[in-house]
């Protein structure tokens, strides 16, 4: 499902794998799907194919060190990557998508981490709109109650011990998040310890990058999200301090189901409801705004 493509980041030194979903006929816009932490691109396959059926050219991809962007024959021990590198991967995916459709508006659908990184992009001015799905700041005190009960054990025991023993975070083995490069998980840990998340943990330079974003943001906050809270979502979108932004709460009862949760939005069952709602949001975005 979707056409396999390979593109590169870091001036050609890093190969990334993705799937391109072509619409029938001319694309009315292009959509980049930026995935959640530890979630491979396959999770978004049906959603991307559906977008193509609605006339959008869609691209899903794996960050370096994950899925189809992990070099053959290499594990994660000694693999060098951090979250700034993953932001560069999003930039590279934007390049690959716009190379095919240079005159079309670009929208980003960011799931969790995928909505936390766009403020770091070089291509902020090329984004015509961001839909944030189940994303929040990640600061541990703003985590949902279910997560907050164990998150300090995760950050202070599981992560440092796992990284020390394996050379990366062996999340698949212990059933937490998934396997992650050492630099990614340790930087993420530092962000999650700060009330202002990445903007606070990284300092003024990163705050200014997020302040430079002008693309409109609609954040979809799920009421039964087991990881993110409404407060955490507000903290995140307020990092984009100069961007037009709004938050919309979605409850399972709104779409006639018992559960949505952090990962449910991209399940096929929500095609007639949540997916249609997202398409309406995309249609409401205008052309990209200048950051000047």
CATH code of the domain containing 221: 3.40.50.1820
One-character DSSP codes across 225-284: -SSB-HHHHHHHHHHSTTS-EEEEEE-GGGGT-S--TTTGGGSGGGIIIIIHHHHHHHHH
Q: Does 172 reside within a domain?
A: no
**pLDDT at position 73 over 90:** no
Contact 69, 62 (CB under 8 A): yes
pLDDT digits (tens, 9 = 90+) for 91-101: 999 999 999 99
Q: Is there a domain that residue 55 lies in?
A: yes
Mean per-residue pLDDT over the chain, rounded:
95
Q: Is residue 52 part of a domain?
A: yes
Judge whether residue 72 has pLDDT over 80: no
Residue 11 lies in a domain: yes
pLDDT cut 70: percent of the chain above it:
98
pLDDT digits (tens, 9 = 90+) for 12-71: 999 999 999 999 999 999 999 999 999 999 999 999 999 999 999 999 999 999 999 997
- pTM assigned to the model: 0.95
Is residue 105 scored above 50 in pLDDT?
yes
In the predicted structure, residue 290 carries a pLDDT above the cut 60: no
What are 190-221's pLDDT values in tens digits? 999 999 999 999 999 999 999 999 999 999 99
Q: Do the domain assignments include residue 181? A: no
DSSP conformation class of 154: I
Is the residue at 33 inside a domain?
yes
111 inside domain: yes
* Containing structural domain, residue 36: 3-146+196-284
Instruction: Report how many helices (DSSP H) and strands (DSSP E) the chain contains, helices first.
Output: 11, 10
Instruction: Count the domains in the chain.
Output: 1
Residue 189 located in a structural domain = no
What is the per-residue pLDDT for 292? Answer: 42
């Amino acid at each position: 499902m979707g056409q396999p493509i390979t593109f590169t980041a870091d001036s050609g030194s890093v190969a990334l794998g993705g799937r391109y979903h072509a619409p029938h006929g001319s694309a009315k816009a292009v959509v980049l799907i930026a995935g959640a932490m530890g979630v491979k691109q396959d999770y978004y396959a049906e959603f991307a194919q559906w977008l193509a059926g609605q006339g959008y050219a869609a691209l899903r991809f794996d960050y370096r060190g994950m899925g189809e962007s992990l070099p053959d024959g290499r594990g994660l021990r000694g693999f060098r990557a951090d979250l700034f590198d993953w932001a560069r991967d999003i930039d590279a995916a934007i390049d690959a998508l716009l190379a095919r459709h240079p005159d079309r508006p670009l929208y980003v659908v960011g799931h969790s981490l995928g909505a936390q990184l766009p403020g770091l992009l070089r291509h902020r001015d090329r984004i015509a709109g961001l839909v944030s799905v189940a994303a929040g700041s990640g600061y541990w005190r703003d985590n949902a109650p279910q997560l907050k009960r164990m998150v300090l054990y995760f950050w202070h025991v599981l992560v440092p011990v796992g990284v020390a023993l394996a050379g990366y975070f062996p999340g698949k083995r212990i059933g937490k998040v998934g396997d992650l490069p050492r630099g990614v998980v340790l930087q993420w840990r530092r962000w999650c310890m700060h009330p202002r998340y990445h903007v606070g943990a990284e300092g003024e330079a990163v705050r200014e990058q997020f302040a430079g974003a002008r693309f409109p943001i609609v954040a979809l906050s799920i009421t039964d999200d087991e990881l993110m809270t409404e407060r955490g979502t507000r903290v995140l979108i307020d990092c984009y301090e100069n961007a037009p932004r709004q938050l919309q709460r979605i409850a399972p009862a709104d779409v006639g189901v018992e559960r949505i949760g952090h990962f449910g939005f991209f399940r096929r069952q929500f095609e007639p409801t949540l997916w249609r709602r997202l398409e309406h949001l995309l249609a409401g975005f205008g052309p990209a705004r200048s950051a000047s």
